[in-house]
Amino acid sequence: MIELVAPLRDGDRRALARLLTAVENERVGVDSALAALFPYTGHAWVIGLTGAPGTGKSSLVTELAKAYRKQGETVAILAVDPTSPFTGGAILGDRIRMRDLSGDKGVFIRSMATRGSLGGLARSTRDAIRVLDAAGFDRVLVETVGAGQSEVDIVRAAYTTVVIEAPGLGDDVQAIKAGILEIADILVVNKADRPGVDSAVKALRAMLELGHPASREQMVAHHGKMMQAEVPTSHHQEIWMPPVIRTVATEGEGIGELLAMIETHRQFLTQADRMQQLEQQHIQMELVDRVREALVKQLFTALPTETLVDVVSQVQSRAIDPQTAVNHLLAFRQVNVAK
């Protein structure tokens, strides 16, 4: 795997594709490749685009990619689907939608679906973004479909997060239910050619005014004490208020405004030390996620099946309670690590 890093850096698309497949399949040896390419990351501007199914994410991504290409920038598109282990219909539709981009060497399109756990997908998305970043793309656009937590987990890797709504989905504002409004840096009401757009914009604005005190900090605070302690609050006097933009992706309307707003947000973050803080938060959250995953794996790898079965039956017979059972399992790990 590690031998793919040099060609990746030289713009070899096959090396890129192979590394992404290795990341997706968690193939042996991919960790050393990721470690080798890590020093080359941190240059691409990562933009997350998320929203309910069919709101027009792929159409917007395509328009954004075209606009960036016009400016001479290279673009990688990563379409992540946490809802399905299959890369079926939606991706096929995307192929057609993104047809305008095919044949352009400055654009790379890749899709990823759930293989195992959602946590696994969040990790492989982060890794895939790093591979694309190290490959030298100026912009990495990450499209995620799903609801609630899955979107939140996946867009955590983005610097600018665009939440996409569309009128007439049965509900004025879908994002509120899913709780994804808190992660939005920019809100887009797409399909502005459809009826109900005004009420959707109004509802979103009202929601934003109600509750958007520094959403990132809230998110970090939710993630545990370690981060709460580490997050400085004094630098957030000037808070970013997410703007609401109307677009008609199919007509290319509002794309210029969206592009400009992404730039404004980027400038906002790169001012002062905001970007360093955001990256620090991302890294901390990622490390917590990875440690959690590694510990669970370590424990269950070391644990004989009989022990687990035994502890389960002890709980079932009311001999011990679940928390005591957990303590037994954790004690088992400590004994084994010490050996």
Ligand X SMILES: Nc1nc2c(ncn2[C@@H]2O[C@H](COP(=O)(O)OP(=O)(O)OP(=O)(O)O)[C@@H](O)[C@H]2O)c(=O)[nH]1
Q: Could you list the residues that contact Mg ion (CB under 5 A)?
A: 57-58
Nearer to Mg ion, 57 or 246 (CB): 57
Nearer to Mg ion, 58 or 161 (CB): 58
Q: Taking a C-beta distance cutoff of 8 angstroms, is the pair 200, 173 a contact?
A: yes
122 binds, among ligand X, Mg ion, none (CB under 5 to 8 A by kind): none
Task: Output phi, psi for 138, to 5 deg.
Answer: -75, -40
Nearer to ligand X, 7 or 54 (CB): 54
194 binds, among ligand X, Mg ion, none (CB under 5 to 8 A by kind): ligand X
Helix or strand (DSSP H, E) at 110: strand 107-113
Report the nearest approach of ligand X to the CB of residue 63 (Å).
9
Grouping H, G, I as helix, E, B as strand and the rest as coil, residue 133 is helix
Nearer to Mg ion, 57 or 156 (CB): 57
Report the nearest approach of ligand X to the CB of residue 4 (Å).
29
Residues lying near ligand X in the complex (CB under 6 A) are found at 53-59, 90, 93, 97, 145, 190-191, 193-194, 248-250
Report the nearest approach of Mg ion to the CB of residue 109 (Å).
11
Residue 81 sits at the vertex; the CA angle it makes with 79 and 83, to the nearest 5 degrees, is 170
Report the nearest approach of Mg ion to the CB of residue 181 (Å).
20
Q: Which amino acid is at 286?
A: E
Residue 113: other Cβ atoms inside 10 A: 18
Report the nearest approach of ligand X to the CB of residue 164 (Å).
7
Q: Taking a C-beta distance cutoff of 8 angstroms, is the pair 185, 161 a contact?
A: yes
Of 153, 184, 165, 163, nearest to 54 by C-alpha is 165
Token code pair at residue 259: 């592009």
Of 47, 255, 56, nearest to 166 by C-alpha is 56
Residue 44: other Cβ atoms inside 10 A: 23
Nearer to ligand X, 57 or 139 (CB): 57
The DSSP call for residue 87 is -
Chain residue at closest Cβ approach to Mg ion: 58
18 binds, among ligand X, Mg ion, none (CB under 5 to 8 A by kind): none
CA gyration radius, the chain: 22
Report the nearest approach of ligand X to the CB of residue 189 (Å).
9
56 binds, among Mg ion, ligand X, none (CB under 5 to 8 A by kind): ligand X
22 binds, among Mg ion, ligand X, none (CB under 5 to 8 A by kind): none
